[in-house]
Amino acid sequence: MDELRICVVGCGMIAREHIERIQNRIRGARVVAVCDVVPANLEQGAAIAGPGTKQYKDFNEAVNDPDVNAVMVTTPGQFHKSPVLAAIKAGKPVFCEKPLANAASDCREVVEAEMESGKHLVQVGFMRRYDRGYRQVKELLDSGKFGAPMIVKCTHRADGVADSYTTAMAVTDTAIHEIDVLPWLVNDEWDEVQCVMPRRSSKAHEGLQDPQVMILKTKGGIVTVLEVNVNDGFGYDINCEVVCENGVVNLPCPSFPTVRFQNNVSTKIEDNWIMRFIDSYDVEIQDWVDHALKGQTGGSSAWDGYVASITADALVKSQTSGAFEKVQTGGTPDFYQK
Amino acid sequence: MDELRICVVGCGMIAREHIERIQNRIRGARVVAVCDVVPANLEQGAAIAGPGTKQYKDFNEAVNDPDVNAVMVTTPGQFHKSPVLAAIKAGKPVFCEKPLANAASDCREVVEAEMESGKHLVQVGFMRRYDRGYRQVKELLDSGKFGAPMIVKCTHRADGVADSYTTAMAVTDTAIHEIDVLPWLVNDEWDEVQCVMPRRSSKAHEGLQDPQVMILKTKGGIVTVLEVNVNDGFGYDINCEVVCENGVVNLPCPSFPTVRFQNNVSTKIEDNWIMRFIDSYDVEIQDWVDHALKGQTGGSSAWDGYVASITADALVKSQTSGAFEKVQTGGTPDFYQK
Amino acid sequence: MDELRICVVGCGMIAREHIERIQNRIRGARVVAVCDVVPANLEQGAAIAGPGTKQYKDFNEAVNDPDVNAVMVTTPGQFHKSPVLAAIKAGKPVFCEKPLANAASDCREVVEAEMESGKHLVQVGFMRRYDRGYRQVKELLDSGKFGAPMIVKCTHRADGVADSYTTAMAVTDTAIHEIDVLPWLVNDEWDEVQCVMPRRSSKAHEGLQDPQVMILKTKGGIVTVLEVNVNDGFGYDINCEVVCENGVVNLPCPSFPTVRFQNNVSTKIEDNWIMRFIDSYDVEIQDWVDHALKGQTGGSSAWDGYVASITADALVKSQTSGAFEKVQTGGTPDFYQK
Amino acid sequence: MDELRICVVGCGMIAREHIERIQNRIRGARVVAVCDVVPANLEQGAAIAGPGTKQYKDFNEAVNDPDVNAVMVTTPGQFHKSPVLAAIKAGKPVFCEKPLANAASDCREVVEAEMESGKHLVQVGFMRRYDRGYRQVKELLDSGKFGAPMIVKCTHRADGVADSYTTAMAVTDTAIHEIDVLPWLVNDEWDEVQCVMPRRSSKAHEGLQDPQVMILKTKGGIVTVLEVNVNDGFGYDINCEVVCENGVVNLPCPSFPTVRFQNNVSTKIEDNWIMRFIDSYDVEIQDWVDHALKGQTGGSSAWDGYVASITADALVKSQTSGAFEKVQTGGTPDFYQK
């Protein structure tokens, strides 16, 4: 394959970002078709993709269009499974935005289908593995200079969420990023998880427990403490501190000018995740394209997507029980061993 | 009273620091007598205090010397109770280094004796309440600008401990400072506590679990996460981050020159607690003297010392149980209400 | 034009970086020919460009190859003029690495030729205008929030230079970047400049005056102080502070993890300019390609290159005179007015 | 002498600070008399000093009161000389607030009188030598780890000045602190100085040139660049960066909590010099007292005060000439050699 001819299934906000990205900043790929059940979305997606883009309402037709040799799934989470399975069936590489699916059983179904196909076709869109800062931290950790990681402390803070955001979504929508990126960062696997609830912020909408403190232990004994705080009042603020035997490594914050103004020396905090991770998305999609052109996958696999889902389920359970809950994946199949 | 004429009971290391401090940097006080059962210590203490200092082997005689009108207790923790009780009996103000006593029951005994005496005589030496950084943080929190505190994250890190340091001492010797200072900082009381054990550092001596992650909830629902890490490999490192409804406040690190050298821009980390809190000790002892001269106490009371002890017991219990354990003080007596 | 088919004239180190960049990370352009008088360089350049790349010894032939529709000049500075003039004559867009030429008279010749051609064809490779940090600073300044700039303070520090580096090159090779980027940053023009010599570093090789302090005043009265220090002992360290009427804005340093290690909290400083500005080069070359495809130029113009050269001459003169020397450009021609 | 019994001559603002300081925080000293020609000032000074304080209108009577054994001169600068000379004549140690005198000839007169007396009696109140940050920087420089200093860059910024503040006062009132502290910091002497004028801030009141850039060269070839900027719009901001052969050392900023709030991570900047240097004043006055009790002086000598005055005169001359002006002290007399 010397060029990915991509069909984008689902033309919502993130899809439009990706279409623009692929058409303008990615080498070796083109969006040739878009698909959405909502006509307005479909039209917008096609307009961004440019003249000549094919438009589909039915994802099966789209995926199986012979002009299409790769699929990007950007539908809402509950509609990820079917187009991903269709792509696997068609033997076409597929990039699926996170999460792989909302239910762990659906993730498992994808995993089984991919293993059956015998080919690595599915990449899940956890973009943090492509963030420069996380990569710098991983490089330092992997160098061995700091010794073994023992404690990891993270914050996942945002300045407001939609009214539809629920207590469980603090795990499934928000913490899910740390659930995926941290085992990759420290080369370990989740073992058990606990959720501790602080007093509610008066800024949280009715029915939402915010903030939350999540404690995740790995099989290797690393204790991770994650603050999820989506009404923080000041911006999008991702931090990650890794305490090792010989020293401590902190994820860098985005680089902004330092300013002296009105009795403060200050640096800007991002408004939202789009700006914070916009570079990571570029790197991620380019990496997917580069891998797919060679018949490979990069980043998070379908198995990673399944494990994230199982881990999220355990955390949601602990939101009610308050106790440590086990993360039971049944062990990594040979197919997904690295 | 227009000058404290102090007898220092116990002439170990911290005592010598305090004697030097009082004789040279504190107004309104003088060390007039020293007491120790070990002759070498006694001699050293007297030498630092200067010519004319009385020397005692028996703390009862020392405390009741009519030339003495105030007592400083700097014996090892298990020998705090008796001289403190003697000072209360004599009606003389007494500064007792932390902890008030090793056993909660001993602390309780001191509390009962002080209440019976009807006078506030006992101040416990938790110096962090006098640290400029904590005071700046408290001022910001009390201003209301940041809204209610919801989460507090602390580190208490040191670069090595004696071989005699035990897993329980991570609570009773180390975390005890946060146990005292945090309720004061956020105007709340401890409710329940949990201890989670990460993988052991290969630097920890045999039999010692280090690091430890402690989770302490207040009655007001604030969740505190405290990392105790006494073989950190890089220095004495105290941090405290308070997550409030409108923003986050971080304890400042000590102020050192920033240096560009050998491919790094860096700032020094303190070697040990003596340098980190040396200013706080000056402020603390001066504050004790100023209060004592007016018949009052400042800083931590005997009740605070008792509560710290009860809380520490609950944390030590959780080191084994792994579960949340309740902190049961029986309620603050009227005598100690602020 | 829908694709730049580039001939790279001069296949030294920076050329090889650019060839690799264009072939792998830039959209809308391909290197189709390389040119060098040194056979080994030519071969290396061609190898990086890949199979099918044409090889030339004569820049005239290369520039006039009908397969070539754009030129990149990466010869040593003293050999920039001729291929740039050839490209102008051929009416092909040309990217010329900085400086435009070593002598101001040569720069002037290019300017005259470009004006005569009636087309904007020449872009000079001052990459800092494409650095994200400078762009962030410019955006803040242009917002007006901070009022008018009054003082600018810069450092241009490196950890070592070749033995061939001379006192004059502190201006023509090093300060030349600030000479170009600062007027762009603050929307002003140079008026007069002075060079002040501190004591020599014992690290400077014989005959080299290092460090140097350069003072550059703009027509609008902004005073710039630039430290050039190319044996700093610790890394590549670019700083820029703009003092405005209402506040101060500082160029951000590159983003690296913060590390606690061996009694220091530290952040890495870059080893050299390649890593510091690697992202800027990507953005710069893509911007040149995007503009050239539309028949335009971006970044620094031939006129900017000429002004930089005139300014450098004045600074070199002040290295001897120690006095303020005037920067006399004769005024911006209409052709280059923005 | 075992206690300083101080007469404070001049009871303005800084005097009141010092009186309060001496009565409450300094060991080994007491204010026993105050002197001022303005009755209201005299009364206020006496009130702060407490009951029993003697009150004088005539400085000669005050200085020569046999109860007084030390003098503090806190009159306006033009009235420093006479009481200082009176104290020298009486053989009593005298602390004179900066500057020693407004005119260099007056400073010289004090120097001559002190040398004639044969005793070191005069200490000039340049408090920065007692600032912890400067002391930390000096310790690092003196360690030799960073090699010889080559360039020093300072800012002296404030947020507003009185209408009576003149262009010359940027030197004599403001830069005077750096003029005194920097030679001490780098163990060198001023050689020549230049003043460069940027565009005026629109915040500067009529007739005032603000900001100013001052360039001061030492005999050892260190080039110092000092920004004086007294309408900075954001607070009191003292910075000092020393560029050495092996690295760069920066004066630390005061220690305040770091705050995340309203899309910024920020740290407070001091409002004014009183808060910035309040600790330095405590250390300074205690050091004067400690030295005076032993018949010595600490800090800046009368000679230092004279040199500062000569240097200031040269800078003021350059405010008009724009050229480098020589600092001619005639050489340090043996009496003042260290």
% pLDDT > 70, chain A: 100
Closest among B214, B215, B212 to B197, alpha carbons compared: B212
Q: What is the pLDDT of residues B5-61, one digit of tens each?
A: 999 999 999 999 999 999 988 989 999 999 999 999 999 999 999 999 999 999 999
Percent of chain D's residues with pLDDT above 70: 100
Q: What is the pLDDT of residue B36?
A: 98
The alpha-carbon gap from A202 to the nearest alpha carbon of chain B, in Å, equals: 7
Closest CA to B68 of B129, B148, B9: B9
Q: Tell me what pLDDT residue C295 has.
A: 95
* Number of residues in chain C: 338
Amino acid in the structure at residue C139: E
Question: pLDDT grade, residue A274 (50/70/90)?
Answer: confident
CB D212 within 8 A of CB C221: no
Q: Is A50 on the interface with C (CB under 8 A)?
A: no
- Interface with chain C: mutation pick from B266, B270, B271, highest number of C CBs within 10 Å: B266
User: What separation in angstroms does the CA of B286 have from each of B4, B130, D18?
Assistant: 11, 10, 19
**What's the mean pLDDT in D222-246?**
98
pLDDT tens digit sequence for B268-280: 999 998 889 999 9
pLDDT band with cut points at 50, 70 and 90 for residue A33: very high
CB atoms within 10 A of CB D40: 9
pLDDT exceeds cutoff 80 at C278: yes
> At residue D121, does pLDDT exceed 80?
yes
Can you give the pLDDT at residue B1? 72
- Chain B, 64 to 103: residues with Cβ < 8 Å from chain C are none
3-state helix, strand, coil in chain A (%, to 5): 40, 25, 35
Q: What is the pLDDT, as a whole number, of residue B25?
A: 87
d(C-alpha D229, C-alpha D237), whole Å: 9
Query: Average per-residue pLDDT in chain B?
Result: 97
Q: Mean pLDDT, to the nearest integer, of D99-117? A: 96
Please name the residue of chain B whose CA is at the shortest distance from the CA of residue D252: B257
Tens digits of residue pLDDT in D84-102:
999 999 999 999 999 999 9
> Mean pLDDT throughout A22-26?
91
Model confidence pLDDT, tens digit, residues D38-96: 999 999 999 999 999 999 999 999 999 999 999 999 999 999 999 999 999 999 999 99
The percent of residues above 90 in pLDDT, for chain A, comes to: 97
Distance from CA of C271 to the nearest CA of B (A): 7
Question: What pLDDT score was predicted for residue C270?
Answer: 94
pLDDT per position as a tens digit, A39-94: 999 999 999 999 999 999 999 999 999 999 999 999 999 999 999 999 999 999 99
* pLDDT for residue B274: 85
pLDDT of amino acid A2: 86
- Interface membership of D263 toward B (CB under 8 Å): no
Q: What is the mean pLDDT of residues B173-181?
A: 97
- Check if C219 contacts A (Cβ < 8 Å): no
- Do residues B104 and B127 touch, judged by C-beta distance below 8 A? no
Q: In this model, does residue A1 exceed pLDDT 90? A: no
Q: What is the mean pLDDT of chain C?
A: 97
pLDDT bin (cut points 50, 70, 90) of residue A243 is very high
Residues in C touching A262 (Cβ below 8 Å): 247
Neighbours of chain C (3+ CB pairs under 8 A): A, B, D
Please provide the distance, in angstroms rounded to a whole number, between the alpha carbons at the two ends of chain D: 25
Query: Which residues in chain C have Cβ-Cβ distances shorter than 8 Å to B262?
Result: 233-234
Specify the pLDDT at position C276.
Answer: 92
Q: Is the dihedral of CA C200, C201, C203, C209 positive or negative?
A: negative
What residues have CB less than 8 Å from B144, skipping those under 6 apart?
Answer: none
Q: Is the pLDDT of residue D326 over 80?
A: yes
Within an 8 Å CB–CB cutoff, is residue B321 touching chain C?
no
Residue D338: pLDDT above 80? no
Burial label, B263 (beta-carbon count in 10 A; 0-12, 13-18, 19+):
middle
User: Rounded to whole angstroms, how far apart are CA atoms A308 and A202?
Assistant: 30
Taking only the tens place, the pLDDT of each residue in B200-245 is 999 999 999 999 999 999 999 999 999 999 999 999 999 999 999 9
pLDDT 10s digits, C148-207: 999 999 999 999 999 999 999 999 999 999 999 999 999 999 999 999 999 999 999 999
Reading phi first (left if > 0) and then psi (alpha if -120 to 50, else beta), residue B220 is in alpha
pLDDT band at residue C338 under the 50/70/90 scheme: confident
Q: For A296-318, what is each residue's pLDDT tens digit?
A: 999 999 999 999 999 999 999 99
Q: Going edge to edge, which strands form the sheet with B122-125? A: B54-56, B29-35, B4-9, B70-73, B94-97, B122-125
The answer on pLDDT for D274 being more than 90 is no
pLDDT (tens digit per residue) in D279-294 = 999 999 999 999 999 9
Measured N-to-C along each axis, helices D104-117 and D81-90 cross at an angle, to the nearest 10 degrees, of 0
User: How high is the mean pLDDT of chain A?
Assistant: 97
Output the average pLDDT for chain D: 97
**How much is the ipTM here?**
0.95
| Rounded (10°) angle between helices B278-293 and B13-25 | 60
Distance CA D58, CA D80 (A): 14
D144 CB near a chain C CB, below 8 Å? no
| Interface residue A258 vs chain D (CB under 8 A) | no
Range C322-337 average pLDDT:
96
Pairing of β A122-125 and β A149-157: unpaired
pLDDT higher than threshold 90 for residue C1: no
Q: Is the dihedral of CA A31, A37, A41, A44 positive or negative?
A: positive
Residue appearing with tokens 């005069």 = D122
How many beta carbons lie within 10 A of that of residue C229, not counting itself?
28
Instruction: Please say if the pLDDT value at position A338 is more than 80.
Output: no
Question: Each residue of B48-63: pLDDT tens digit?
Answer: 999 999 999 999 999 9
Q: Give the pLDDT confidence score for residue D2 in this predicted structure.
A: 86
Residues of D in contact with A261 (CB under 8 A): 233-234
What integer is the mean pLDDT of D197-223? Answer: 98
Interface test with chain C among B229, B263, B269, by most C beta carbons within 10 Å? B263
Closest CB from D199, D203, D245 relative to C233: D245
Contacts of D235 in chain A (CB under 8 A): 260, 263
Confidence of residue D105 (pLDDT cuts 50, 70, 90): very high
Task: Spell out which residues of chain B touch residue C159, defining contact as CB-CB under 8 Å.
Answer: 263
Q: In this predicted structure, what is the pLDDT of residue A27?
A: 87
User: Would you call B237 an interface residue with chain C, using a CB distance cutoff of 8 Å?
Assistant: yes
